[in-house]
Amino acid sequence: MYQASEKRYEQMQYIHCGKSGLKLPRVALGLWHNFGSVDPFENQKALLFKAFDLGITHFDLANNYGPVPGSAEENFGKVLKEEFKSYRDQLIISTKAGYTMWEGPYGDWGSRKYLLSSLDQSLKRMGLDYVDIFYHHRPDPNTPLEETMNALSDAVRQGKALYVGLSNYSAEDTKKAAAILRKNKTPCIIHQPNYNMFNRWVEDGLLDVLEEEGIGSIAFCPLAQGILTDKYIKGIPEGSRATKSVFLHENDITEDKINKVIKLNEVAKDRGQSLAQMSLSWVLRKNRVTTALIGASKVSQIEANVEIVNKLDFTDQELQRIEEILK
């Protein structure tokens, strides 16, 4: 039986998520990759154990994470039942619905039928009575926003979720959704956008809206699926995500990006960090983002990434060097 480290809260930093009372770790673990039915279960356990031992209390899932879809929740549920059960109240567990999960007209997007059915399925797979955060995974242009937000609010009222979140919403849609949720007395507390040095769309309004609305944020893909590491500096390694993922392709790793990565790597060395560590620290700079959501296939990656909490500050000169490279 797993016994958590008694020192797990000594290093990690926790800050309030927006204006809510909920504190989140600066680093969270996502189960998007490496936790499906095709992945070794013992390695999954090792990753989860190491994360919690290092103070990562927030584990992020979605209904369709796998492969196969749903298997990440099933595997996480096994670990919860067999190893993490006594620590449930020390964990923040989130899941989402919004992308294709099952066949037919009711297994996708943002209808009340889909969202509440999906949440029931997620709870069953994980063996939970409730999740801490339930997200709508992406906006649905063909369903009234009120229907989607009211479904999220009802999930909270039914005791199946403690908090409501949004993912991939624009600044404008976030503001509209937040108003509906606030009226429902189930305020949105968190937004999960794709954000990294190569994808900075959140700086064009969304971060301002989140600050105005008192909503926290958790950035996914903060390493641009591995591009913002030293992995691809000398070419594309066999077996890397770029050779086998449907979300990252070899043609995404352009010569221009690699030239920038090489220069960014020098800045990281001067800071005493790896490029991956600096990229995560950069996302969290000035506390505009609450949490960086990491993925991992090895325990050593989690160990290295958690070290960023000791070096989140940047000098003006360092930030200027980074901006010049990214231009």
Q: Domain for residue 316, yes or no?
A: yes
With a threshold of 0.85, does the pTM exceed it? yes
Whether residue 28 lies inside any domain: the answer is yes
Query: Do 92 and 59 form a contact (C-beta atoms < 8 A)?
Result: yes
Indicate whether 229 belongs to any domain.
yes
What single-letter amino acid sits at 187? P
Residue 168 domain flag: yes
Backbone region of residue 140 per phi and psi (left: phi > 0; alpha: psi in -120 to 50; beta: other values): beta
pLDDT, tens digit, 9 for 90 and up, residues 271-297: 999 999 999 999 999 999 999 999 999
Based on the structure, what is the number of domains in the chain?
Answer: 1
Name the 3-class secondary structure at 121.
Answer: helix
Q: What is the pLDDT of residues 81-113, one digit of tens each?
A: 999 999 999 999 999 999 999 999 999 999 999
Q: Which residues contact 212 (CB under 8 A, 6 or more apart)?
A: none
Q: Give domain status of residue 2, yes or no.
A: no
Q: What is the pLDDT of residues 135-186, one digit of tens each?
A: 999 999 999 999 999 999 999 999 999 999 999 999 999 999 999 999 999 9
Q: Would you say residue 1 lies in a domain?
A: no
CATH of the domain at 115: 3.20.20.100
Q: Which domain holds residue 317?
A: 14-326
Residue 21 domain flag: yes
> What is the number of other CB atoms lying within 10 angstroms of the CB of residue 85?
12
Is 42 inside any structural domain? yes
